[in-house]
Structure 1
Amino acid sequence: MTISNKELQINEEIRDKELRVIGNDGEQLGMLSAAEALEIAYERNLDLVKIAPQATPPVCKIMDYGKYCFEQAKREKEARKNQKIVEIKEIRMFSNIDTNDFNTKVNQACKFLKSGDKVKASVRFRKRAIAHPELGGELLERFKEACLEVGVVEKPAKMEGRSLVMFISPKTNK
């Protein structure tokens, strides 16, 4: 039974005439034919794996391929586990928002930014308020100033339909 990987050729899949062969503990075995290298690998109960096909001559290593695949999968799983998925949290306001409501929205946005998420701050214009978009611009400007210590503006305020939208991303601590 052979374990195959699309990127690496192993054992009988290697058809090159001459190979540079590396042993399982890292020692150079020199230039060998594919048949000789395969024979050495089988003697040691290991696999012959082509690790650098673009080199001249191609470089092969004698290793336990099943163990190598397991270690590779383990490393990828660990990398995925340590990855942080950034979410976009939306804070919706209206152009005629009251002071305490505004402060509550700012506190919520700061909490989102501290936890590493991006914030989409949007001011929605109802009915005739669309005639005064500058009020929404001033509101977002106040919002930006309030969030300045924990976030930085990624995309400035822009009209999208009946809303004025701005994106704020968390500050990176360097």
Structure 2
Amino acid sequence: MRISRKKRPNKPLIPIYRKNEGIKVPEIRVLNTEGENLGIMSTKDAIELARKEEMDLVEINPKSEPPVCKIIDFTHFKYQKEKEARKQKTKSHESEIKGLRLSVRISDHDLEIRVEQAQKFLDRGDKVKLEITLRGRENAKPSLAFDVINKFKALLTQKIEIKEEQEPTKQSNKVTAIYCKK
């Protein structure tokens, strides 16, 4: 399958705000620097009022009728919006399902290492999918796989509170379970 290597344009952090002569609407609702309503007036009058105060007229809400504009310093306003967008971007994290493969014959030390790895994933906000592939004669005794998953769950609950999103189930030659943080 061919992999597309094209650069996709990044979405801007903040929407584009129109200011001063960029506002093409004849009448607007004007707010002063404190946010007090100055009423509805023509765009030219509002721009003159903003220039007297050595500020900019910025369109805050273009969708309302008439559009809402505020008399503020545009560079400071843009900086504040970018700051909020960066803060929001750092807080957002899309959770992924991280897979951990175990085996029926896994040693205690290896199991503890997998538990630590699962704890890192869960702390980051991801979900953990445990997968045990049964090979050969192991297919005859899936209860061994369920025991390993229960032991893993017991070790993990000692370190962090977890919620079982999908209980351990056997599908053909695999036993899987999904856990997430409470």
The bucket for the TM-score relative to the shorter chain is 0.7 to 0.9
DSSP 3-state at the match of 1:152:
strand
For 1:13, the equivalent position in structure 2 comes to 22
Instruction: Give the Å deviation of 1:30.
Output: 1.9
Instruction: Give the Å deviation of 1:162.
Output: 4.0
Contact kept, 8 Å, 1:19 with 1:32, in 2: the verdict is yes
Residues 119-138 of structure 1 show CA distances to partners (whole Å, capped at 9, x for unaligned) of 33222222332343333123
Q: Number of residues paired by the alignment?
A: 166
RMSD over aligned CA atoms reads 3.1
What amino acid is the match of 1:144? Answer: K
For 1:169, the equivalent position in structure 2 comes to 180
Q: % of aligned pairs identical?
A: 27
Per the normalisation by structure 1, the TM-score is 0.73
Per the normalisation by structure 2, the TM-score is 0.71
Structure 2 alignment gaps of length 5 or more: 1-13
Structure 1 alignment gaps of length 5 or more: none
Quick one: distance in 1 between partners of 2:15 and 2:98?
40
Instruction: Give the Å deviation of 1:21.
Output: 0.7
- Alignment counterpart, residue 112 of structure 1, candidates 120, 125, 138: 120
Q: Identify which range, 105-114 or 68-77, moves more after superposition.
A: 105-114
Equivalent positions of 1:51-130 (< 5 A) are: 51-82=60-91, 90-98=99-107, 100-101=108-109, 104-105=112-113, 107-108=115-116, 111-112=119-120, 115-116=123-124, 118-130=127-139
Instruction: Give the Å deviation of 1:58.
Output: 1.9
Instruction: Give the Å deviation of 1:166.
Output: 1.3
For 1:143, the equivalent position in structure 2 comes to 152
